[in-house]
Amino acid sequence: MKILIAYTSKNGTVRTCVDRLCTSLNGLDVTAADLNMSTPNVADYDMVILGGAVHFGKWMPAMRDFIKDQYDALMQTKLGLFLCSGLAHEQEYYIEKLFSKELRDHAFQTLYFGGSLRKDGLPFFDKLVVRHLRSIIIESEIDDGEYTPSMPGILPENIEKMGTYARKELFREKE
């Protein structure tokens, strides 16, 4: 039973989530592939867990191409979907925008893994974007009538949940 985790990550948050997911799937035959480095063949796996971070409201091109080129195979395999973003309050909007309804309906689980708006270590331009995103969160919370800034973080409970559901799904027919 081979599992593929196919992801894109620009600055490492998604990679950290994928490392945690690999730990949660400990003992299974898992391959984690950064789509910016390689293009695995979906048909070679029994399950695919697919996800990445939102950049300017979109997927990175490697994720877009992967979904487009292997869409039929994704619709035929056991599929888990996840997304990371800086704006937690937009998670449902992004999930619906970036994964087609057909893919979401087919998936055994679609989960938000959180995100990071930390600036340390980022390239200069990305720091500016992150600063802008932080201000959107603060503005929206002031508009909501309460000023309780809640910067995002990785959500280990959702990563763990994906691992648990993936195990169940993988062995479902054997029970």
- Residue numbers of the site for ligand FMN (CB under 6 A)? 9-14, 53-57, 84-87, 90, 115-117, 126, 129-130, 133
> Min. distance of Cβ 1 from ligand FMN in angstroms?
27
> Min. distance of Cβ 14 from ligand FMN in angstroms?
3
Give the CA distances from residue 75 to residues 38, 85, 89, 98, 99, in Å, rounded to whole numbers and listed in that order.
Answer: 21, 24, 28, 15, 12
CB 39 within 8 A of CB 70: no
> Min. distance of Cβ 89 from ligand FMN in angstroms?
9
C-alpha 115/C-alpha 117 separation (Å) is 7
Which is closer to ligand FMN, CB of 27 or CB of 121?
121
Which is closer to ligand FMN, CB of 24 or CB of 85?
85
Which is closer to ligand FMN, CB of 159 or CB of 170?
159
115 Cβ neighbours under 8 A, 6+ residues apart: 13, 53, 54, 84, 85, 86, 87, 88, 152, 153, 154
Which is closer to ligand FMN, CB of 22 or CB of 130?
130
> Min. distance of Cβ 115 from ligand FMN in angstroms?
4
Residues 26-35 as b/e (b if ≥16 CB within 10 A, e otherwise) read eebebebbbb
Which is closer to ligand FMN, CB of 67 or CB of 87?
87
> Min. distance of Cβ 129 from ligand FMN in angstroms?
4
